[in-house]
Structure 1
Amino acid sequence: MSASRRSRLLAGVLTLTAALTASACSGGGDAPQTDSNTITVMAKLFGTAPDPNGEMQQAVEKFLGKKLKVNWVPNAEYTDKLNVTFASSNLPQVMVVDPHLPGFVKAAQAGAFWDLTDKLDKYPNLKAADPRSALNSSINGKIYGLYRMRPSLRSAVMIRKDWLDKLGLKLPETVDDLYDIAKAFTEKDPDGNGKKDTYGLIIPKWPGNYASASPYDVVETWFGAPNEWGERNGKLVPGFDTPEFLEANKFLKKMVGEGLVNPDFATLDSAKWNDPFYLGKGGIIIDVNIRSRALLDKFRDEKDDPAFYGPKVAMVGNLKRSDGQKFSYPFTGYADVLAISRQSVPTEQDLDNLLKTLDKLATKEGQVLLQNGIEGRNFKPEGDIAALINETDPKVEIVQKDVDNAFTQLSTKGTNDIGGLAYARTPSGQPYKDMLKLQKELMEEDLKTAVFNPALPVVSPTKVARGAQIDTIIPDARIKFLSGEITEEQLKGEIKRWYDSGGTQVAAEVNDLVSKLGKTN
């Protein structure tokens, strides 16, 4: 979508949502009639849409005692579809949405979605499991949706263990160790084929903006840069306006220049991120820790023998800076929220009925259904793991895909490996069990040094209004700097351009909003 078209769509949100709100509050006009036996939802899709008459949907409907009508929208198209929907007169009852998406912020503040801040205490399964994550998902302290639980700390480094072993290398503890391993993987023939055809670090084209959990953001935090916003000299400043940000990127630029990073790092499809690791082209990935299990999957698909796939993948947590100090990269604690439309849920009674249904869905039984599937059909519990079964049955494969591609989007409490209620979704082989145990240990350890973003709960009005124009300035400049297209001075010039293009006002508003939030919490 072009910037001009996006601006036109967002500009219409305030006018249209005001009309929606007036209609919703009155319960009259063109507001749709609610059907207490049907729940309408808009959610993300990561593959083929489930059959509305399929096993999974029938199981969910049976559990709830209600019909479920879901508009599954492919993830790549989701933001555009949301903006169009916000500007329409046909909002579903429940929408999976990024609570800080500018279009949603405008719509929520205009009254198009229910403010749930003081409404959840009487629903035992909808109370926030983690107050920090709930606050992070708010808009300046107001809760407009049920946050979907994610770990607060899941950054990690995945490494080809067989390459480490072949070269006699130890797991890294510092950024300097990471550089040394990447250099050895590039120059010392870790696959033993007699050719210099490997590299160390694998980075894909990153689809998000600055501070979107990219490998760059993680490394910058390791060097001591703030996690998006941090205090310097008594005020909050963006992390990219610090010496540590520059030092981290000079480190990465050196790795790129020496060929220690995949040469297509600016264009590699993120959906193919695992391929160079599995195919023996690169040996290091910086990402969320659950990618370790996805990497094991690649080798397991080749040969389902723990003695074969087990020795392929090693994992460590966040790395120390050269001076031994450790700064770990945390996450928001949530991934989207379930927001409730005041147009389609117009009265307090309608809201209560829907929240009771969502409360049932948030029980352990409901979360296991959404996250794991149908017990005895596509999985069986083994301790705290959902071990896959009947994997060669085509009909069961559809159930598993419906879970993975779609129904997990309706889950709010996550899996037990991240503090949630459902089982960890993984095969039952010992390498997976070992990796799951390590994952938990690393998360607990790195939380001690996590660098949290104090500005996560606040939304700058200027950022909402001008985000499309300024959000790409820093990530674009960073890629150009790493590629050698611009100098350090030119990178600093782009940082100044961010300030001149509205960033100065954003910074002032963030400082003001955080100050006010501190006085009310």
Structure 2
Amino acid sequence: MNTTPRRLLAGTVALATALLASACGSDDGGGGQSAGNELTMMVPLFGTAPDPGGEVHKAVEKVVGKKLKITWVPNAEYQDKTNVTLASDTIPQVMVIQGKIPSFVQAAQAGAFWELTDKLDKYPNLKAKSEQAERNASINGKVYGIYRVRPLLRSAVLYRKDWLDKLDLKVPETVDELYEVAKAFTEKDPDGNGKKDTYGLIIPKWPTPVFCSSSPYNVVETWFGAPNCYGDRGGKLVPTFDTEEFYTANRWLKKMVGEGLVNPDFATLDSGKWNDPFVQGKGGIIIDVNVRATQMYGLLKEQDPEKYGDKLAMGGNLKRSDGQKFSYPFDGYNGFLAVSKQSVRTEAELDEVLKALDRLATEEGQTLLANGIEGRNFKLENGFDVPIGDDDPAVKTINNDVDFAFIQLGTWATIGMGVYDAMPASEAEQENLKLRKELVELDLQTAVNNPTLPIVSPTYVSKGATLDPIVSDARVKYLAGEITEEQLRAEVERWHESGGDQVIAEINDLHAKLGGS
């Protein structure tokens, strides 16, 4: 079961038919280009499209050993463009696929993309760096793309350090300690202004209705021992909301909401404004990812250039009351580079394309994609990336091309995971970077992996957009006091009756076929 945010397509039968036709079309079709000396790609874009004659584009071509013809698509339009492209007869040789969206799953299973399950080991830089991540990225155990690596574990908790210091509190290690800190942040005037105008935990409205979506809710539920999306209970995989630990966790959160320890607008706060209460001194705790600390330091520095390093503390995943620890991991990947069978028709052409991607996955190639051009937009200092030439318009163009475009082709280096880390601007940030790595290694030991990540349930593909909001919306209403726990449980039952039982059956069947691991 794939839990990546997605928009389901209408007319899936017609699309699958079109995919089969395009995958098996004649050699003289509009999308059939020889591997040759040109590599065609479709890649998401977050800024201004790079100039094909620009420094970065030319440098990437030199590494790859081919001319690059890249269709850059604004990220907001990327999924729609992906769906249209997959149903057309002009699929580029390599596409960035942002997740197991239904159109790609159908395309891959219809034979429109090369299965790479047993092919990548011969390419040293494309070989999976993590068996767990590769398994997570697979579709029912089959690999249809070179996954773009992300940290397997990056969940963490950010705190207002100045508030902790003022109230003589330490970074929590248990859920009970987190509750006490949230209560103190709400009731003990941590900003010293003499008013009761602060609260502890900041939660935004989660931007997608997908139930297993790495939200603060999912992290907290895992801390209490609930499965990460699905888990084994009595030899059968069941969804997290079919366990009592799920309800225990949400009773805890509901208590915090009821006592005013959570931002009152948690059901509506725009996730794009999640930082604001923390930076503005209204709320003091954020449960999210560790790399958020880098962003937060930047915002705090704008507000207080002198003392910003004293305002942020970070901790890892928390133990529950009995001392047991269950840490929340992530997928370990963010989409993949898939190779089209329509435009790469033979094993020999596939080998040529994979060799080009293997060159791009070298340290030289990944440095170019994630850091830029050494000596032009950055220099190395004690092993760190130090920006240079910021006032040079040409360097600004290089930074734009790397940060907002070519970074999307990074398979093992990306923003926050470059070949070289950015030089921390202060001692506090350097210590945070060190702490981040220590917490990751510690929490990986207690990570609760989602066993359904490799599994794609047909019923979930067709009904997921209807099923997911049933429980996720009910959970928010329960936390807000709008419905009772009995009514929440009734919504869970409605999920089962609306197709959830079939999803569970398919997941367990597919899981067994994959060996049950």
Tell me the distance in 2 between the aligned counterparts of 1:459 and 1:465: 11
| Matching residue of 1:242 | 243
**SS of the counterpart of 1:224?**
coil
Q: Does 1:436 align with 2:433?
A: yes
d(CA) in 1 for partners of 2:310, 2:439 = 19
Alignment check: 8 A CA contact 1:417 1:440 kept: no
Partner of 2:14: 12
Partner-residue secondary structure (3-state), 1:39: strand
Q: Does the Cα contact within 8 Å between 1:388 and 1:427 map onto a contact in 2? A: no
- Distance between the aligned counterparts of 1:353 and 1:11, measured in 2? 33
Q: Deviations over 1:211-265 (max 9, x none)?
A: 1111110000001000011011221100111111111111112222222222222
Partner of 2:174: 174
Aligned partner of 1:322 in structure 2 is 321
SS of equivalent to 1:96: strand
Show the counterpart of 2:4.
none
Tell me which residue corresponds to 1:514: 511
AA aligned to 2:500 is G
Rounded to whole Å, the distance in 2 between the matches of 1:250 and 1:84 is: 44
Counterpart of 2:455, as a letter, is V
Tell me what 1:216 maps to.
217
Partners of 1:335 and 1:207 lie apart in 2 by 17
CA distance in 1, matches of 2:119, 2:309: 48
Specify the alignment match of 2:3 in structure 1.
Answer: none
1:200–1:75 distance in 2 versus 1, CA, 3 Å? farther
* Aligned counterpart in structure 2 of residue 480 of structure 1, from 473, 477, 495: 477
Greater relative CO, 1 or 2 (CA 8 Å, sep 6+): 2
Q: Which letter does structure 1 place at the counterpart of 2:338? A: A
* Equivalent AA in structure 1 for residue 297 of structure 2: L
Whether the aligned pair in 2 keeps the contact of 1:99 and 1:139 (CA below 8 Å) is no
In 1, the alpha carbon distance for the partners of 2:12 and 2:72 equals 22
Give 1:89 deviation, angstroms.
Answer: 2.0
Deviations 1:158-192 (A, max 9, x none): 11111111111111011111111112112222222
SS of equivalent residue, structure 1 residue 449:
coil
Assess, with a 3 A threshold, how the Cα gap between structure 1 residues 431 and 400 changes in structure 2: closer, same or farther: farther
Cα distance in 1 between the residues matched to 2:49 and 2:178: 41
Q: Does the 8 Å CA contact 2:163/2:185 hold for their aligned counterparts?
A: yes
Deviation sequence 1:484-505 (CA, Å, 0-9, x none): 2222111111111111111111
Q: Secondary structure at the match of 2:482?
A: coil
Q: Which residue in the other structure is 1:290 paired with?
A: 291
What does residue range 133-148 of structure 1 map to in structure 2 within 5 Å?
133-148=133-148
- Counterpart residue identity of residue 202, structure 1: I
Q: Contact 1:385/1:428 (CA < 8 Å) preserved in 2?
A: no
Q: For 2:48 and 2:477, how far apart are their aligned partners in 1?
A: 36
The aligned amino acid for 1:507 is: I
Aligned twin of 2:348:
349
Instruction: Report the residue type matching 2:164 in the other structure.
Output: L
Which residue number corresponds to residue 310 of structure 2?
A: 311
Deviation at residue 49 of structure 1 after TM alignment: 3.3
Following the alignment from structure 2 to structure 1, what is the Cα–Cα distance between the partners of residues 284 and 88? 47
* Structure 1 partner of 2:260: 259
Per-residue deviation, residues 258-287 of structure 1 (Å, max 9, x unmatched): 222222222222222222211212111111
Alignment check: 8 A CA contact 2:226 2:240 kept = yes
**Aligned equivalents of 2:145, 2:37: Cα separation in 1:** 22
User: In 2 relative to 1, CA 482–366 (structure 1 residues): closer, same or farther, beyond 3 Å?
Assistant: same
Residue 223 of structure 1 aligns with an amino acid whose one-letter code is F
1:43-85, Cα deviation, whole Å (9 max, x unpaired): 2233343344433323322332333233333333332332222
Aligned twin of 1:390: 389
CA displacement at 1:426 relative to structure 2? 4.8
Which residue number corresponds to residue 424 of structure 1?
Answer: 421
- Indicate if the aligned counterparts of 2:8 and 2:101 stay in contact, CA closer than 8 A: no
**Distance (whole Å) between structure 2 residues aligned to residue 269 and residue 35 of structure 1:** 45
Q: Which runs of 5+ in 1 are unaligned?
A: none
In structure 2, the residue matched to 1:105 is 105
Alpha-carbon distance in 2 for matches of 1:127, 1:451:
25
In structure 1, how many angstroms separate the alpha carbons of the residues matched to 2:45 and 2:30? Answer: 30
Sort the Cα spacing of 1:57 and 1:81 in 2 relative to 1 into closer, same or farther, 3 A.
same
CA distance 1:173–1:313, change in 2 (3 Å): same
Query: Is 1:378–2:380 an aligned residue pair?
Result: no
Matches within 5 A, 1:459-498: 459-498=456-495
Q: State the secondary structure of the residue aligned to 1:95.
A: strand
Conserved 8 A contact 2:35-2:353: no
Q: % of aligned pairs identical? A: 62
For the Cα contact (< 8 Å) 1:27–1:347, is it kept in 2?
no
What is the SS of the residue equivalent to 1:68? Answer: strand
Q: How does 1:194-213 map to 2 (within 5 A)?
A: 194-208=194-208, 209-213=210-214
Contact 1:415 1:424 in 2 (8 A): no
Q: Which residue of 2 aligns with 1:47?
A: 47
* Counterpart residue number, 2:403: 404
String of CA shifts for 1:105-157, please: whole Å, max 9, x gaps.
Answer: 11100011110111112211111111111111001111000011111111000
Residue deviations 1:312-354, cap 9 Å, x none?
A: 1110000010111110001111111111111122222221111
Judging changes above 3 Å, is the alpha-carbon distance between structure 1 residues 32 and 189 closer, same or farther for their aligned structure 2 residues? same
Distance 1:358 1:251, change over 3 A: same
Q: Distance in 2 between matches of 1:49 and 1:274?
A: 28
1:468 alignment partner AA: A
What is the aligned length?
510
Contact persistence 1:136–1:457 (CA under 8 A): yes
Structure 1 residue 311, shift from structure 2 partner:
1.2
Over 3 Å counting, the alpha-carbon distance change for 1:57 and 1:454 in structure 2 is: same
CA shift at 1:358, angstroms?
A: 0.3
Structure 2 letter corresponding to 1:485:
E
- Within the candidate set 474, 480, 499, 1:502 is matched to 499
Supply the RMSD in Å over aligned alpha carbons: 2.1
User: Which structure 2 residue ranges, 5 or more long, are not aligned?
Assistant: 1-6
CA distance in 1, matches of 2:416, 2:87: 38
Partners of 1:199 and 1:392 in 2: how far apart?
41
Partner of 1:300: 301
**Separation (CA, whole Å) in 2 of partners of 1:394 and 1:279:** 33
Contact kept, 8 Å, 2:35 with 2:344, in 1: the verdict is no
Q: Aligned residue for 1:127? A: 127
- CA apart distance, 1:27: 3.1
TM-score by length of 1: 0.93
Following superposition, the deviation at residue 517 of structure 1 comes to 0.4
Equivalent residue, structure 1, for 2:334: 335
Cα distance in 1 between the residues matched to 2:163 and 2:471: 35
Aligned partner of 1:153 in structure 2 is: 153
The question of whether the paired residues in 2 share the 8 Å contact of 1:99 and 1:105 is answered with no
Output the CA distance in 2 between the equivalents of 1:502 and 1:289. 36
After superposing the two structures, state which structure 1 stretch, 186-195 or 171-180, moved more: 186-195
Deviation string, structure 1 residues 16-62 (Cα, Å, up to 9, x no partner): 11101212xx5344442236333222222333433444333233223
Q: Describe the superposition over 1:408-439 as per-residue Cα deviations: whole angstroms up to 9, x where unpaired.
A: 11000126986xx7112354432222111101
* Contact 1:159 1:284 (8 Å CA) reproduced: yes
CA distance in 1, matches of 2:312, 2:12: 45
| Distance (whole Å) between structure 1 residues aligned to residue 261 and residue 390 of structure 2 | 39
* Residue 48 to residue 31, structure 1, CA distance change in 2 (3 Å): closer
Give, in whole Å, the separation in 2 of the partners of 1:293 and 1:164. Answer: 20
Report the equivalent of 1:451.
Answer: 448
Distance 2:50 2:304 in 1: 30
